[in-house]
Amino acid sequence: QFKIAYSINPNVEISRSNRTEPVICSYRTCPKRSQSGLVSHTTNYQRFRRATNLPHLRQPPTRPFFDTASSSNNTAKMATELTVQSERAFQKQPHIFLNTKAKASSKKTAQGRRWYKEVGLGFRTPKTAIEGTYIDKKCPFTSQVSIRGRVLVGKVVSTKMHRTLVIRREYLHYVPKYNRYERRHKNLSAHVSPAFRVEEGDMVTVGQCRPLSKTVRFNVLKVHAKTSRAVKSFSKF
């Protein structure tokens, strides 16, 4: 049996010199135990840390791991791109040959050569996709994913997945028997390029593309940021 004891005296001011640290000591064989059964020792804290490597006794970090000051830009829930090379494999655009001596046909930006395209249908390529450095093989602007088929609009309800969001599309269904309409909704998963910064509540325009995963068949083409926080209400698309 082992016990952890602290020497607590309200009349003595605790300072760096007379600080009392906890010590693991045998309860039965310790000669310095008091009548209450607790042991009060004063020893070197570094020796205590080396002798007892217990996770629940380790001191917490002095500063939090996540910086809360950057949450004011309303991108706390959106996955941010900290670095380009964050995967096991080397990330590069398939259209770019990294040999600097060769003459590539891609367009050259301030950061180097970068390949991008126009998706058509009246959607302009965002400036962040042209001047950015991210690598995304599912991006509709900087990869070989083509947009064809349906173009839908929905409201973002979740941005918890990596480069993927969930949108909600509400509509009215007519019931002929009762001559009434009933409210229905469908959830849809769509890939979002690192060129966009999306929040929950934003309206986005998505376009259909080839299957990107088991459940993702759409790609975000445009983001309509919400202007103000309104009361949750039903809206038909």
What is the domain-level CATH number for residue 207?
2.40.50.1000
Residues 6 or more apart from 49 whose CB is under 8 A from it?
Answer: 58
Assigned domain for 132 exists: yes
- Comparing CA positions, the residue from 191, 214, 198, 108 lying closest to residue 145 is 191
Question: How deeply is 222 buried, as exposed, middle or buried, from its count of CB atoms within 10 A (0-12, 13-18, 19+)?
Answer: middle
pLDDT, tens digit, for every residue of 104-155?
A: 555 665 556 888 899 988 999 999 998 888 888 999 999 899 999 999 999 9
Looking at residue 161, its amino acid is M
pTM exceeds 0.75 for this model: no
Q: Based on the domain organization, do 111 and 214 belong to the same domain?
A: yes
Assigned domain for 73 exists: no
Q: How many domains does the chain have?
A: 2
pLDDT, tens digit, for every residue of 178-196?
A: 999 999 999 999 999 999 9
Q: Based on the domain organization, do 51 and 112 belong to the same domain?
A: no
- Segments forming the whole domain that contains residue 46: 1-59
Q: Which of 58-62, 130-134, 171-175, 233-237 has the lowest mean pLDDT?
A: 58-62
Assigned domain for 66 exists: no
